[in-house]
Amino acid sequence: MRRDLLFYGIFGILGLIFLGRLFSIQVLDPTYKLSAENNAKREVKIYPPRGYIYDRNGELLVANQVGYDVMVIPRQVEPFDTALLCRLLDVDTTYVNDRIQRAIRYSRYQPSIFFGMMSDERYARIQEELYKFPGFYTQKRLLRDYPISGAANVVGFIGEVNERFIRENPGYSMGDLTGKAGIDKSYEDVLRGKAGRRFLLVDNHNREVGRFMNGMYDTVPVPGKDVTSTIDIDLQLLGETLMAGKRGSVVAIEPSSGEILALVSAPTYDPNLLVGRKRSRNYTNLFHDSINKPLYDRGLLAEYPPGSPFKVIQALVGLQEGTLTERTTYTCHGGFHYGRLHVGCHCGGGTMALRKSISKSCNNYYCNVFKRIIENYPDAHQGMNAWNEHVRSFGLGQFLNNDLPTGKRGFVPNADYYDRAFGYTGWKAVSTISLSIGQGEMIVTPIQLANMTAAIANRGHYFTPHIVKAIEDEPIDDPHYTEPKYTTVDSVHFATVIDGMFDVFESGTARASRLSSIEMCGKTGTAENPHGQDHSIFIAFAPRENPQIAIAVIIENGYWGSRWAAPIASLMIEDYINGEITREALYNRMVEGSLEEEYRRQYIEIFGNDSLFVAP
């Protein structure tokens, strides 16, 4: 046998084996093509500038600034000098391990933030050394910048998305930022824009060597849109200043549009605390401040009994139901007495009609008004539900469903509620008599109270309060905000009630806050509450005709409405309408006035000492 044949045979067999193998890995098996892309392609997200936020007069509230993140792609990480990395970033080994574990949990192939938002100086230092750490690279990102240290609760803040958020919002990936509160949250879709993508080629040492496919798949970022808020930043800042040392809220609305002019929550915080490297420590501090709760937007979330201002609604319901006329009189003998039931009154006593009952805030009068409303119906259930209907038409007891990211429903009781609460159905109007003076089971949020005031100012309708008036200079056109919502009380019934509210300043409970240059209408409130001293409450609008501003002020545990809330409301109105404050002494008294002692007293009552108390 010719021995050379074996050679030809071996060549042939080996050739077939090689061709078969090549066919299998090159033509049949697609996995290598994917691996090749993952090997060499790196996706870099190009964050677009987030939209700016302006106040209603074009003042810049929120802008952007540049920060840098160190990103990590776990699969590309090779053993590295942990000590050096710790030194560069000023972190410890635990941080490094923890962050890498978190990144791996998210994805081995996708970049995660390893060290977020570092300073320019650190960025410069790290850039030089980063080549020693394969799998790590830096990425520029945009941070928020707050030129004005105020309105923190209005503009909100942004933060890194977490794993759960990404699961629920597929458009986001690790390291993205999203609005977490305020306008930045509720207008996320508008402000965010659209991130661009750049695909880069990287070599085995993770160095960028060019564009993938010459940038064929790259996308350009679309900048976020600018948003114009309804807030008047000067008014907002004045409110924040006036609320120094107090807890509570000031909400001002433009009645003719429903635009929120000021949304003050006290205590508040400087929005710049939530930018940059110290963000997380500051956030933790703010988040855990359970005494002053600076992140808690009292204007939207805190629920209070409305107190005496609610008497205005009571009167309007009575007028609409026909159980009350402007000439109806009741005589007050220091309170409302019914059997063993007794509701005290500080009006000074005597016989009075509707207008005076408002300016003097007579409890007896409104107990009777309420009793007549309910008793006008065959049984208390029907009466209560009819009453409930009227009250709710002022926007109370329900979500406003507006463009603020948070809110509370408040509560306006109805017949079913009392059936459950009393455990029997035989209750009478007098059983729920606290409602007549805005106490009892009823609760409202400050923004609901302000909206209610706007409805009164408008003589029977309101526009859903909202915080944004234009997007990219394009006024909002959502009918939810631009079309009025009418109350069940006809506008003819408002005249006398508003006269009464006018008298509150002229001769009534808030006469100390009167201002001759503006015709103001208001109503004081002193709401009993289980926490401590009564809340000081005030609602007001001005001018009396064609009102420009409706306001609600609540000072927690401030006692009389006339003591804190009325002067603050009055100063706010003066500043908004006249553009200046003339009553310097009053202004100073408000700014310097602190309720720290009352809050400390409550704290000691609960915890026995004040070692951990923090003044507002």
Partner 1 sequence: MRGSRGRRGNVLSRLDPWTFALYAVLVLLGWMNIYAAVYSEEHKSIFDMSQQYGKQLMWIITSAVLILAILLSDARLYQTVAYPTYVVTILLLVLTLIIGKEIGGNKSWIQLGSFSLQPSEFAKFGTALAMARYMSMLNVDISKWKFRFWPLVLMGIPMILILLQPDAGSALVYLSFFLVFYREGLPGMYLFIALLAAVTAIMALIYPPVYVVGVVGILALLIVFFLRKSRKAVWTTLLLALFSGAMAFGTNAIFNKVLQPHQQSRINVLLGIQDDPMGVGYHTTQSLIAIGSGGFSGKGFLEGTQTKLNYVPEQSTDYIFCTVGEEWGFVGSSITILLFIALMARLVFLAERQKSKFSRIYGYSVVSIIFLHFAVNIAMTVGLAPVIGIPLPFFSYGGSSLWGFTVLLFIFLRLDANRWEEL
Binding site for partner 1 (CB under 8 A): 3-4, 6-8, 10-12, 14-15, 17-19, 21-23, 25-27, 29, 31-33, 35-37, 39-40, 75, 201-205, 209-210
Least Å distance between CB 26 and partner 1?
Answer: 4
Which of 31/401 has CB closer to partner 1? 31
- In angstroms, what is the minimal distance from the CB of 43 to partner 1? 15
Angle, in degrees to the nearest 10, between helices 233-242 and 565-578: 160
Pick between residue 53 and residue 202 the one whose CB is nearest to partner 1: 202
Query: What is the rounded CA–CA span in Å between residue 459 and residue 498?
Result: 9
Q: At its nearest, how many Å lie between partner 1 and the CB of residue 108?
A: 11
387: closest CA among 327, 445, 440, 329?
440
In angstroms, what is the minimal distance from the CB of 20 to partner 1? Answer: 10
Residue 29 or 490: the one with the smaller Cβ distance to partner 1 is 29
HEC string of 541-609 equals EECCCCCCEEEEEEECCCCCCCCCHHHHHHHHHHHHHHCCCCCHHHHHHHHHCCCHHHHHHHHHHHHCC
Nearer to partner 1, 32 or 422 (CB): 32
Exposure string over 452-462, b if 16+ CB within 10 A, otherwise e: bbbbbbbbbbb
Q: Please state the closest distance from residue 212 (CB atom) to partner 1, in A.
A: 8
Nearer to partner 1, 47 or 212 (CB): 212
Nearer to partner 1, 103 or 250 (CB): 103
Burial label, 313 (beta-carbon count in 10 A; 0-12, 13-18, 19+): buried
Beta carbon nearer to partner 1, 4 or 584 = 4
Give whichever of 21 and 589 is closer to partner 1, judged by the CB atom.
21
Q: How far is the CB of 9 from partner 1 (least distance, A)?
A: 11
Neighbours of 334 (CB within 10 A): 14
Q: Quickly tell me which residue has 């560069």 as its tokens.
A: 88
Dihedrals phi, psi of 400, to nearest 5 degrees: -80, -15
Percentages (nearest 5) of helix, strand, coil residues in the chain = 40, 20, 35
In the complex with partner 1, the residue whose CB is nearer, 36 or 421, is 36
Q: State the minimum distance, in angstroms, from the CB of residue 44 to partner 1.
A: 16
| CA atoms of 198 and 215, how far apart (whole Å) | 7
Angle at 569 between CA 564 and CA 574, to 5 degrees: 130
In the block, residue with structure tokens 């000590």: 83
Q: In which residue are the tokens 């807890």 written?
A: 247
> Least separation, in Å, of the C-beta of 218 and partner 1?
16
Q: Is 493 helix (H, G, I), strand (E, B) or coil?
A: helix
Query: In degrees, to the nearest 5, what angle opens at C-alpha 517 toward C-alphas 511 and 518?
Result: 70
CB-CB contact of 491 with 352 (8 Å): no
Q: How far is the CB of 14 from partner 1 (least distance, A)?
A: 6
Kindly state the smallest distance separating residue 41's Cβ from partner 1, in Å.
8
Taking the CA atoms of the chain, what radius of gyration do you get in angstroms? 32
Instruction: Please say which residue, 26 or 594, places its beta carbon nearer to partner 1.
Output: 26
